[in-house]
Each structure stands twice: as C-alpha cells, then as structure tokens.
Amino acid sequence: MSTTYRVTGMTCGGCSKSVTAAILEAAPGAKVEVDLGNKAVSVDGASEAQVKQAVDAAGFGFEGKV
Amino acid sequence: MSTTYRVTGMTCGGCSKSVTAAILEAAPGAKVEVDLGNKAVSVDGASEAQVKQAVDAAGFGFEGKV
C-alpha cells in the first residue's frame, strides 16, 4: 500500500527523477510515483522516516502525509 | 581550489539545489556552484569520488571533469 506525501520544490522532470533516485537509494525496493502538479510523491515500500530523510537530503521540502 | 565537473540532467533551479544538497550531504564543508547552462558543477572541498557518488545518487549524470 502506498502512502502519499507532500514534497515542495520540485519543478521539472529532473527534480522528480532526483527525488525518486534519493528515495530508492534509501529504500532500494520501493515503488515511487511523483505527481509534480500536485507536489505529491506516493511511495510503497519505504518508511515515512526514510522518505523524509531522502527528500531532505536531496534538497526538497518534506511536508508530511497528504 | 575548485574542480569543475560535467553533470547532465539538471534543467531547473530545483535540480541545481538538489545536486548542491547531495554534494553537501557527502562533504558538509564543500563549496558548490552550479552553472545550469553549461551543465557544470564546480566543487571545492570534496573528492571526485564523493561528487560522483552524490550526483549519481541524486539521479543526475556524472560525466567527469570538464
């Protein structure tokens, strides 16, 4: 089951790729979907703490569950 | 002394912020400057291996020294 988080600062495909790569580095088996328009990232297979740490380290803004 | 590397896949300010954050996470004291138009990242205070690892993990393309 995936959880959707609000992530700010993503403005293009490079950003969404970067957020995805950072989450996958923290949780290699995760499934990640980015919705740029809604500033939303849906993740299956990673904890909220893993997602927060990865998003923060990648320079974007983690704002918790949607 | 800073070293300049070619990094592909950066297309906006979010991307350059992300690359900078990833390098700073790997080498907290580094000085990082991103030139989007030239696909160039200049780094002082981090090894090439640190920069490569950070850029790869952030989902961008590390192509070595310019």
Chain A residues close to B11, C-beta within 8 Å: 12-14
Count CB-CB contacts under 10 A for residue B8.
Answer: 12
Confidence of residue B29 (pLDDT cuts 50, 70, 90): very high
Nearest CA in chain A to B53: A25
Cα–Cα dist B19/B59, whole Å: 9
Taking the CA of residue A53 and the nearest CA in chain B, the distance in Å comes to: 11
The domains found in chain B, sorted by start residue, are 3-65 (3.30.70.100)
Mean pLDDT of chain B: 96
What is the average per-residue pLDDT within B24-45? 97
Closest chain B residue by Cα to residue A60: B18
Residue A58: strand, helix, or coil: coil
